[in-house]
Structure 1
Amino acid sequence: MSKIDHSLFSAHEHALDDNFGDCPDCGKPLHIKNSKSGPFIGCSGYPECTFSKPLHDKQTTILKTLEGVACPECASDLAIKKGRFGMFIGCTNFPSCHHIEPIKEKEDTLVDCPKCEKGQLISRTNKYGKQFFACNHYPKCRYVLNFTPVNEKCPECGWGVLIDKKGQIQCPQPTCGFKK
């Protein structure tokens, strides 16, 4: 039977403790901390110092600066950026300026939403670039179509919109089998 060398476990510092450097606010070491939202990097000087940052950095990256295109709020250059929700145009003077705008404007299809009957379906793009059509009264109405809407009522079930699915006009309702 072998003996355990307890001197191996008597180190005062954990191997990961000093990987995160010092706090930029107060200079004390940064450590991994836990919250109900999950782990994060926080200052060891808490509660006097409240500096924190995400453990997994999901920061926005600048893909291309648009030279000569000025921000309407601060006159700095705009840039094409990629964030956690996809690509967008944003000010290079962030975080001082928070101006952002979509790369592609939402297109109105002039098709009324069949679910809430108040809004209209607009073309949207998800973070992977796939197009879908959603009610412009989101989040009150969460109606979504993955295919191009056609402004016609279904002659069989009476649903307020049809879809163009791979060149075939059909009803989006799963219980209705209408196709033309």
Structure 2
Amino acid sequence: MSKYLIVGLGNIGAEYAHTRHNIGFDVVDAFVQKHGGSFKIDRLAEIAEIRWKGRIFVCIKPTTYMNLSGKSFKYWMDKEKIAVENTLTIVDDLALPLSKIRVRPSGSDAGHNGLKDIQAVLGSDKYPKLRFGIGNNYPKGMQVEFVLGKWFPEETSVIQKKITACVEVIEQMATIGLEKTMNLANNLNFE
């Protein structure tokens, strides 16, 4: 049975809930909820196991804080004996407009501390990522406040559509493979 590690990046704590920086948590929550699973607290993460179409998805939300995400990622990848190409890390991305998501088999951390830590722990940037565009609609010098802030009310409907699409990306990666999933997901435009 094929096994996948789905890693949603975010920070624990109520003050971070449903902020742009925590979109990885929200996507993993939506996937687990759709498939009738639930999270439990375990080592370095909240974890849920989903079985769907003959596949196992080990879904984690690291409890290590964003900057130490690699520790949790590596622990669960090793513990569950999951190949790095069968992982998917979901992350917010300032460089992508709100209308876009992007799936890649590898690539730089683009200054994202969660990805930076995973890359340092793995010693490689060759692990699949699902980047959730959050745009860069903030005044100069306000990047941190923007990233750690809640979505604007007018963004809510786009965010919901994108979360639904990201849940489908997780399913497609496991059924049709990463390359075909990239061709579909990377051309989507959310209004």
Per the TM superposition, whether the score is higher than 0.5 is no
User: What TM-score results when the alignment is normalised by the length of structure 2?
Assistant: 0.21
User: What TM-score results when the alignment is normalised by the length of structure 1?
Assistant: 0.22
Higher share in helix: 2
Instruction: Considering Cα pairs closer than 8 Å and 6+ residues apart, tell me whether 1 or 2 has the greater RCO.
Output: 2
Larger radius of gyration: 1
